[in-house]
Copies of this chain bind each other. A is one copy, B any other.
């Protein structure tokens, strides 16, 4: 085939998006899943997603589907950092027809159950801890594994971790994000030193210190800083993940 696109030479495919949206809840990594209502894989859990419409980019479609299917607030969905993971295009990944799917990942702070928002498709959406997830529809188990791996390595050299935290957070919360995603224990003073030594990673909230909540000495509050990457990176210890 030549450089040009010959309009007679292509077979039409369906193009969809799939989303692996993570949160940290109670020390465990959770992913947002929906229960399928129809064949194939009726009753199975699946990643939220759907068709890209004629005038949408994949990313636009991903935001729309996320809002429609999970009832996350419009505002949150619009502001969310969506990262394109990769595209899955094996010919038989959907038994009915040829479907090429662009997968995205996102991180959100701990949120109420999506169903709480009200009716519609969101009623079938739930957060599941990763080890509760067994059978997933289509090749979604592969997508989920790829997404988890991507998130883990992104934490090493980007400031992405703050995406799992509320707008103001303690260094302990930030550390537990790393520990949960990497499934490792980190030394608290060292973690603190590293984070504070990285310019722009976090910045102290002016006058505040969390008081009432937990036991123990109240922790200072921080906000995400302007930096997006970590130089040098915060590498996970040798045998982590999984």
User: A54-B98, A102-B87 known; A13 and B13 CB under 8 Å?
Assistant: yes
User: A15-B89, A56-B91 known; A3 and B34 CB under 8 Å?
Assistant: yes
Is A89 a contact partner of B54 (Cβ separation < 8 A)?
no
User: A57-B91, A96-B7 known; A68 and B1 CB under 8 Å?
Assistant: yes
Is B87 a contact partner of A1 (Cβ separation < 8 A)?
no
Contacts of A100 in B (CB 8 A): 15, 52, 58, 100, 102
Q: Which of A40-58 contact B (CB under 8 A)?
A: 46, 48, 50-58
Is B16 a contact partner of A15 (Cβ separation < 8 A)?
no
Is A5 a contact partner of B14 (Cβ separation < 8 A)?
yes
Q: Mark A41-82, 1 if CB is under 8 A from B, else 0.
A: 000001010111111111100000100110000000000000
The answer to the question of A126 belonging to the interface, with a C-beta cut-off of 8 Å to chain B, is no
Secondary structure dominating the interface of A: loop
The answer to the question of A4 belonging to the interface, with a C-beta cut-off of 8 Å to chain B, is yes
The answer to the question of A188 belonging to the interface, with a C-beta cut-off of 8 Å to chain B, is no
Is B98 a contact partner of A38 (Cβ separation < 8 A)?
no
The answer to the question of A112 belonging to the interface, with a C-beta cut-off of 8 Å to chain B, is no
The answer to the question of A121 belonging to the interface, with a C-beta cut-off of 8 Å to chain B, is yes
User: A13-B12, A54-B11 known; A1 and B121 CB under 8 Å?
Assistant: yes
Is A91 a contact partner of B14 (Cβ separation < 8 A)?
no
The answer to the question of A192 belonging to the interface, with a C-beta cut-off of 8 Å to chain B, is no
Is A38 a contact partner of B96 (Cβ separation < 8 A)?
no
CA distance A46 to B2 in the complex (A): 11
The answer to the question of A194 belonging to the interface, with a C-beta cut-off of 8 Å to chain B, is no
Is B121 a contact partner of A2 (Cβ separation < 8 A)?
yes
CA distance A56 to B1 in the complex (A): 15
Instruction: Provide a sorted-by-A list of 12 A–B residue pairs whose CB atoms are within 8 angstroms.
Output: A1-B69, A2-B69, A2-B121, A3-B121, A3-B124, A5-B94, A10-B51, A13-B14, A15-B15, A57-B90, A84-B86, A233-B233
